[in-house]
Chain A
Amino acid sequence: MTESKPAVAEAPTNAKMETRNVNVFYGSNQAIKDVDLDIADRSVTALIGPSGCGKSTYLRALNRMNDTIDICRVEGRILLDGEDIYGRGVDPVEVRRRVGMVFQKSNPFPKSVFDNVAFGLRIGGEKDKDVIAQRVEESLRGAALWDEVKDRLQSSALGLSGGQQQRLCIARCLAVWPEVILMDEPASALDPIATAKIEELIRELREQYTIVIVTHSMQQAARVSDSTAFFYMGELIEHDETETMFTRPAKKRTEEYISGRFG
C-alpha cells in the first residue's frame, strides 16, 4: 500500500480543500481508496483517469452530493478552509452553497432563464428584486452568456442550445457565490465550439474561484488546468502541476495513460 501512495506535491500552503485518507464505499464496494489530495485556492485542478476510476465519485464527495445516494459511505477527512465538511453538526446544505457543482449533462430547470439563475438566491432567502436582478445579470456575464440571453431572460431555458444551457448551469452556480466549483465533465456532451467557450470560461473563472474539473479529455486537462491528478482503480496515482504531469510524470502508469497506451 505505502509504495503505491501518490507522490503528493508537498501540501501547498494555499490549499482551499484538503482530503485526507478519503475512502468512499458503495455498499460493500470500495470506489475510492485512501485518497490524499490538496486542492489549491483559485486554481484549476483536473481529475483524469479511465472510466470507473472513481474520479466522479471523489468529486461528489467534495460537496456531499454522495449523501443523496443511499448506499454511499464516505470515510476520512475532507477539509474546506481547514474545517471538516463531514464533521459533526455540519449541514450539507451549507457545504453545497459554498461548494457548487456543474454536471456532465446540462440540467437547467424547466423555468425561464432568469428564474434558473435566481433559484439559488431565492431559496437562500433573498427577497429584494433589485438584488436578484443584479446578481442574475452579474452571474450571466460571469458565465459569458449575458449577451446571448439578455433579450430572452423570460423565455424557457430549455430553448437554449446545449452549450448555452451548460453555461446557464454555470451562471446558476455562480449566482450563489460559491467558493469552490466542481465540474463533472462539463463539456463532454458539447460540440467543439461550445467546448472551447466553456474552457475559456473556466480559465477566466480561475481568477476568483477554486475549480475542480473531471475530464476524459487529456487535451482539455492540459489546456485548462494548473494541476492534474491521475486516478486509477479508485486510487490517486499521481498529482502534480499539469505541465509536469504531461511532460515528466513520475509514475509509469501515469505516463502510459497520458500517452494513450491504456484507458
Chain B
Amino acid sequence: MSETGYVLEARGVVKVFGNHVALDKVNFGLMPGEVHALLGENGAGKSTLIKVLTGAYQPDGGEVLVESQPVTLNNPQHAQTYGIGTVYQEVNLLPNRSVAENLYLGHQPTRYGFVDRRRMERDARTVLARYGLDLDPGSELGTHSVAVQQIVAIARAVELSGKVLILDEPTASLDRNEVERLFDVVRSLKAQGLAVVFITHFLDQVFAIADRVTVLRNGRLIETRALTDVTRTDVVRLMLGKDISFSGATALEEARPAGEVLLDFRNYGRKRSVHPFNLTIHKGEVIGVAGLLGSGRTEMARIMFGADPADEGEVRVAGQKTAIDNPTDAISRGFGFCPEDRKAEGIFGELSVRENIVIALQGKLGWFSALNRDEQMEIAGRFGEAMDIRAASLDMPVKLLSGGNQQKVILSRWLATDPAFLILDEPTRGIDVGAHAEIVRTINRLRDEGLALVVISSELDEVVAYSSRIVVMRDREMVAELHGENINPGVIVQAIASNQTGASA
C-alpha cells in the first residue's frame, strides 16, 4: 500500500453542507519534504479540504490516509497525534496566556502532576530561538505583534506534530521581511523532511517557495502539477477556469484633471496613533496608502472616519471647517469605511445580507424613518446585483458567504448611503483572484463616478493599478506623497524602506 509514498493523502473525499457540495471526490497527496501549494478561489473548497485533513470536519465520502493507512481523524488534536499540525490565517492562540504556554498548551511538561513552568519556559526559549525569536517566554502573547504570534503558532504546530505542517494563509498579515523570515523557516523545515501544505492568495509566494501546486475550483480537484513546468498564467487559468489579463493598465488615468477639492486634512493627527498629516483629497480621485503593517495606515483611516477622534489639526469638508469626532459625524458628511478586519469590524455575521446592506443607510436615516422590508429588499437587491454578490438568497446570514462576497456586501452597505468619500482598508485581503479583480474594477468605477476614495493596501501592484496619488506611511507618519510616474512599486518600496528602522516585530 505504501507505493504512493504520501505522508498524508485524501482519496475521493466528499463533503456536503446542506445541499451544497463543498468537496466533490477530491484527491490530494502530500510527499514528505515538499512544499505543496493549495490554490483556488474563495469557495473553491480549500478550507473545507484542510478541515477534513485536520479532523475538524468528517468527510461524507472517501477516506483520509496517513502514510497509506486509512485513518479517522476525530478532531485537530487527534490529527496532531498523527503528526499533522495546522496554522490558521487568524492567529488561533491565546492572547491572555504566556508565550511558553501557547507553545505547549496541552503538552506542558509536568512534575508530580503540576506544570513545570521553569522547564517549560526554558524549552520555549530554545524553540523560539530556532525561529529567530528572542523574547521572554513568560510574557503575555497578546503583547506581541501579530507577526510574532504567527511565528509562535508555527513553532507550536511543528513542535507538536512534526510530519505535516498546514499553513492556511499564514502570510496574510505579515510584511515582506516577515514573510521572508517565515519562508526561511519553511525551507529549513522542508529540509528536515517535513511536508508543508501552503495556502495563499499570493502567487509570488507560491512560486517562491512551493514545489508542487494543487488547484481546486468549485469543490473539485482541477489539477496537481509540479511548479517547474507551469507558468503563472497557467496557474491563474487553472484557478479561474478562464483566461484573464492581468495588466495594470492605468497610465491613461494619469492625464485626468483633478476634480474639485472635497476634503482637506490639515495637521490632522492623534497622539500615540498618527503624527499630524496634511492631505487634500479631490473628487474622482483614489489615494492609495502604502506602508508596512503597523505603519499607521489603519490608524490614519480610523482618524479620518472619526472612529478614533483626532486631537490635533482640522478638517474641511467641501471648504467648510468641521469636526468629525465619531463615525456618525462622518457618515452624515457622506463618508464610508470598510475596515480591515472584515469579520470583527465589518459584517454582522448573524444578520442577513439584506440587513447588512441597509444598516448604514438606516443608521443615517435615524430612528424614526425605518425602512420597511420591501424597501430593504429593493435596495439590497439593487446593490446585490450591481456588485454581483453571489448569495443563494438575500436573507441568508452573511457569515456563510465567502470573503470576497462579504467585502462586496460591505461595499454595498456604504454605496447605499450614497457616499462622497470612501475609505477602504485592505479591501482585497484574503480574497481570491477573481473577486480581487472585481473589487479593483469597482474601485475604478467609483472613481469614474466622482467619488473620492482612500484605499489602503499591502499589495503594491494593486495600489499602483488604481491610485491617482499614493501616500506612504512609515512609523505612524506620512513620509511621502507620490505623483505621476513616481507611482510605481520601486519608488514606493524605496519610500517605505528609506531610513527604515526595523519592521513591526
Q: Do A and B bind each other?
A: no
List the interface of chain A (C-beta within 8 A of B). none
